[in-house]
Amino acid sequence: MKALTWHGVHDVRVDTVPDPIIEHPTDAIIKVTSSGICGSDLHLYEVLGAYLDEGDILGHEPMGIVEEVGAEVTHIKPGDRVVIPFNISCGHCHMCGTGLQSQCETTQTREFDTGAALLGYTKLYGQVAGGQAEYLRVPQAQYGPIKVPEGPSDDRFLYLSDVLPTAWQAVQYADVPAKKTVLVLGLGPIGEMCTRVAQHLGAETVIGVDLVPERLARAAAHGVTALNLEEHDDLPATVRELTGGRGPEAVIDAVGMEAHGAPIGKLAHRLAGFLPDKLAQKAIETAGIDRLAALHMSIELVRRGGTISLSGVYGGAVSPMPLLQMFDKQVTMRMGQANVWNWVDDILPLLSGNDDPLGVDTYATHHIPLTEAPHGYDIFQKKQDGAFKVVLNP
């Protein structure tokens, strides 16, 4: 089969690789019909090569048609249309039972003391072959796959794999009081969906901050107060002026380690990329530092007693935090990988009707063949050609 594989920093290629097979009775094989390129994939494209091997298959936002199931998989069958969550969870351990599927005790990567295994996402999370491919082996398929109805296009359901539950959880963790204000830093696919979810769940005012004019215009088109960071020398003062002098009740950081304006963290990422894998891993795990501009800005922006929700990915082990300011402002902070199945019952009904309250039908800007995936990564990383969300169609 054809699959998108990692070969080095800014070097992904479509290779011919062996077709996946059933390895365990809890496996399934799906024929992939759509697979998204995620902002987190860009971390592999630029930063986390120390945890990848040449030829690893990327991608964690797939959906498709079931081809084959293992003996212990009974809730889906060949021919079913399914979305595959990005985190691999068993559904029966203690953590899954508490709704923390991203901490699944069955699939945790104990070598690195990390949470549930992820599709297509490095040795840190199990080094499981990903879904930017023609076919995908789905581990823990007795629980994970989400069966969706026939009829609507893939785009109606594809984002159940990651974008929708990640944004939904981010808004829930932000704990936005009804009819109050939430500010979202970063209007990429996750951040922009956070603004839509926040509006749907009753936030009165949603403020979005970004640097990319197309993304700002996209958010403004559905009622977000969109602020271009480059046009405001004192963003906290601007935001306080918009929020009665106090700041928003909640802030969502949807930027993470890709933050602009953090040259030391950016340099650390680059330098780690030049080290041999073992040395780079040690540096990241013991002395890693993130680009923290967005997180520090979140702490500055949120009102006293407010809540910060982190959906942007951070990976530094010694990232400095302004604890005095956080303590003084009495800030609550929540974070973590999305627990996909914990939110499916809330989200799926919104996708199953005739209307489209979260705008998923037109969310992607680019649909391209799998064979053009390297180009898709390039334009998404460089924010060229209006690339906002790229979907691969094998």
Query: For the chain, which residues make up each domain, given as ranges?
Result: 2-162+339-393, 164-335
Fold match flag (2-162+339-393 vs 164-335): no
SS3 347: helix
Average pLDDT rounded to a whole number, residues 305-331: 84
**Residue 85 pLDDT greater than 60, yes or no:** yes
Which pLDDT score is estimated for 46?
A: 80
Average pLDDT rounded to a whole number, residues 195-221: 97
Which pLDDT score is estimated for 50?
A: 75
**Residue 392 pLDDT greater than 90, yes or no:** yes
**Residue 272 pLDDT greater than 90, yes or no:** no
| Cα–Cα distance for residue pair 196/343, rounded to 1 Å | 16
Average pLDDT rounded to a whole number, residues 88-115: 96
Average pLDDT rounded to a whole number, residues 219-229: 97
| pLDDT cut 70: percent of the chain above it | 89
Taking the complete model, does pTM exceed 0.85, yes or no?
yes
Cα 351–chain centre separation: 19
The Cα diameter of the chain in Å comes to 61
Q: How confident is the model at residue 291 (pLDDT cuts 50, 70, 90)?
A: low
User: Which range (224-238, 260-274, 348-362, 378-392) has the least confidence?
Assistant: 260-274
| Cα–Cα distance for residue pair 67/225, rounded to 1 Å | 45
Architecture of domain 164-335: 3-Layer(aba) Sandwich (3.40)
Instruction: Say which residues have a Cβ less than 8 Å from residue 84's Cβ, sequence separation at least 6.
Output: 30, 62, 63, 64, 119, 131, 136, 138, 144, 145, 146, 161
SS3 43: helix
Q: How confident is the model at residue 316 (pLDDT cuts 50, 70, 90)?
A: low
**Domain 2-162+339-393 class, CATH top level:** alpha beta
Average pLDDT rounded to a whole number, residues 353-358: 93
**Residue 224 pLDDT greater than 80, yes or no:** yes
Average pLDDT rounded to a whole number, residues 83-102: 98
The HSE-up count of residue 91 (CA atoms within 13 Å, CB side) is 13
**Closest among 84, 78, 73, 85 to 338, alpha carbons compared:** 85
- Count other Cβ atoms within 10 Å, centred on residue 335: 16
